[in-house]
Protein backbone atom coordinates (compact mmCIF):
# COMPACT_ATOMS: atom_id res chain seq x y z
CA UNK A 1 0.00 0.00 0.00
CA UNK A 2 1.36 3.39 -0.97
CA UNK A 3 2.10 5.48 2.06
CA UNK A 4 3.57 8.86 2.96
CA UNK A 5 4.47 9.61 6.57
CA UNK A 6 5.42 12.99 7.93
CA UNK A 7 7.04 13.91 11.22
CA UNK A 8 6.68 15.57 13.55
CA UNK A 9 2.91 15.98 13.49
CA UNK A 10 3.27 19.40 15.04
CA UNK A 11 6.10 21.70 15.94
CA UNK A 12 6.23 24.96 17.89
CA UNK A 13 9.35 27.10 17.69
CA UNK A 14 10.39 30.69 18.29
CA UNK A 15 10.85 33.19 15.52
CA UNK A 16 14.37 32.98 14.17
CA UNK A 17 14.80 29.27 14.85
CA UNK A 18 15.61 26.76 12.11
CA UNK A 19 13.26 23.81 11.60
CA UNK A 20 13.52 20.53 9.74
CA UNK A 21 10.41 18.69 8.64
CA UNK A 22 10.58 15.04 7.61
CA UNK A 23 8.76 12.99 5.02
CA UNK A 24 9.18 9.31 4.25
CA UNK A 25 7.39 7.36 1.55
CA UNK A 26 6.61 3.89 0.36
CA UNK A 27 5.17 4.03 -3.11
CA UNK A 28 5.43 1.88 -6.18
CA UNK A 29 6.82 3.45 -9.34
CA UNK A 30 7.94 6.57 -7.50
CA UNK A 31 8.30 9.56 -9.77
CA UNK A 32 8.62 12.64 -7.60
CA UNK A 33 8.02 14.10 -4.19
CA UNK A 34 6.28 17.39 -3.62
CA UNK A 35 6.11 19.77 -0.71
CA UNK A 36 3.16 22.12 -0.19
CA UNK A 37 2.35 24.86 2.31
CA UNK A 38 -1.24 24.89 3.52
CA UNK A 39 -2.48 28.19 4.90
CA UNK A 40 -5.71 28.87 3.14
CA UNK A 41 -7.61 27.49 0.21
CA UNK A 42 -5.52 25.13 -1.86
CA UNK A 43 -2.09 24.18 -0.60
CA UNK A 44 0.58 26.20 -2.37
CA UNK A 45 3.34 24.39 -4.13
CA UNK A 46 6.87 24.68 -2.71
CA UNK A 47 9.14 22.11 -4.30
CA UNK A 48 9.15 19.11 -6.55
CA UNK A 49 12.04 16.69 -6.11
CA UNK A 50 12.90 13.94 -8.54
CA UNK A 51 16.63 13.42 -8.17
CA UNK A 52 18.35 12.22 -5.07
CA UNK A 53 20.90 14.46 -3.38
CA UNK A 54 20.12 17.67 -5.23
CA UNK A 55 19.00 20.43 -2.91
CA UNK A 56 16.31 22.81 -4.05
CA UNK A 57 16.22 26.26 -2.49
CA UNK A 58 13.78 29.10 -2.39
CA UNK A 59 14.73 31.89 -0.04
CA UNK A 60 14.83 30.52 3.47
CA UNK A 61 13.32 27.21 2.42
CA UNK A 62 15.24 24.26 1.07
CA UNK A 63 14.52 20.62 0.47
CA UNK A 64 16.39 17.50 -0.51
CA UNK A 65 15.41 13.98 -1.52
CA UNK A 66 17.16 10.78 -0.48
CA UNK A 67 15.91 7.97 -2.70
CA UNK A 68 18.04 5.41 -0.91
CA UNK A 69 16.35 6.25 2.38
CA UNK A 70 12.98 6.93 0.69
CA UNK A 71 12.76 10.22 2.45
CA UNK A 72 12.92 13.98 2.12
CA UNK A 73 13.45 16.90 4.45
CA UNK A 74 12.20 20.46 4.28
CA UNK A 75 14.34 23.04 6.06
CA UNK A 76 13.25 26.52 7.01
CA UNK A 77 15.90 28.85 8.38
CA UNK A 78 15.37 32.08 10.31
CA UNK A 79 11.68 31.28 10.72
CA UNK A 80 9.09 34.05 10.68
CA UNK A 81 5.52 34.12 11.94
CA UNK A 82 4.36 33.95 8.34
CA UNK A 83 5.87 30.50 8.10
CA UNK A 84 3.17 29.19 10.44
CA UNK A 85 1.17 26.71 8.39
CA UNK A 86 0.63 23.05 7.76
CA UNK A 87 3.34 21.62 5.50
CA UNK A 88 2.22 18.76 3.32
CA UNK A 89 4.38 16.18 1.60
CA UNK A 90 3.06 14.16 -1.31
CA UNK A 91 4.52 11.39 -3.43
CA UNK A 92 3.76 11.31 -7.11
CA UNK A 93 3.71 7.81 -8.49
CA UNK A 94 3.20 5.83 -11.63
CA UNK A 95 -0.43 6.55 -12.46
CA UNK A 96 -0.18 10.32 -11.97
CA UNK A 97 -1.88 10.33 -8.60
CA UNK A 98 -0.57 11.96 -5.48
CA UNK A 99 -0.44 10.28 -2.11
CA UNK A 100 -0.39 12.85 0.66
CA UNK A 101 1.04 12.67 4.14
CA UNK A 102 -1.03 14.07 6.98
CA UNK A 103 1.15 17.13 7.27
CA UNK A 104 3.24 18.85 9.91
CA UNK A 105 1.63 21.79 11.70
CA UNK A 106 4.28 24.42 12.25
CA UNK A 107 3.66 27.27 14.67
CA UNK A 108 6.12 30.14 14.96
CA UNK A 109 5.94 32.12 18.19
CA UNK A 110 6.97 35.78 17.90
> Which residues here bind other proteins, judged by CB under 8 A?
9, 36, 38-45, 86, 88, 95-100, 102-103, 105
Indicate the residue among 10 and 18 with the shorter CB distance to other proteins. 10
Give one DSSP letter per residue of 27-88, joined into a string: -TTEEEEEEEEESSSSPEEEEEE-STT--EEETTEEEEEETTTTEEEEEE-S--GGG-EEEE
Minimum separation from the CB atom of position 108 to other proteins (A): 16
Q: Which of residues 68 and 82 has its CB atom nearest to other proteins in the complex? A: 82
Could you give the dihedral angle defined by the CA atoms of residues 74, 104, 76 and 13, in that order, rounded to the nearest 10 degrees? Answer: -150
Closest contact distance (angstroms) between CB of 38 and other proteins is 7
Minimal distance, residue 101 CB to other proteins, in Å? 9
Q: Least distance (Å) from other proteins to the CB of residue 46?
A: 10
Nearer to other proteins, 26 or 66 (CB): 26
Q: Identify which of 69, 74, 73, 88 has the alpha carbon closest to the alpha carbon of residue 26.
A: 69
Instruction: Compute the distance between CA of residue 77 and CA of residue 70 in angstroms, rounded to an integer.
Output: 23
Question: Which residue, 3 or 16, is less far from other proteins as judged by CB?
Answer: 3
Amino acid sequence: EDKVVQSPLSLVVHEGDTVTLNCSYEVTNFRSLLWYKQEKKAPTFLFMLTSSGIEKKSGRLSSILDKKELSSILNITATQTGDSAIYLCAAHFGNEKLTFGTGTRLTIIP
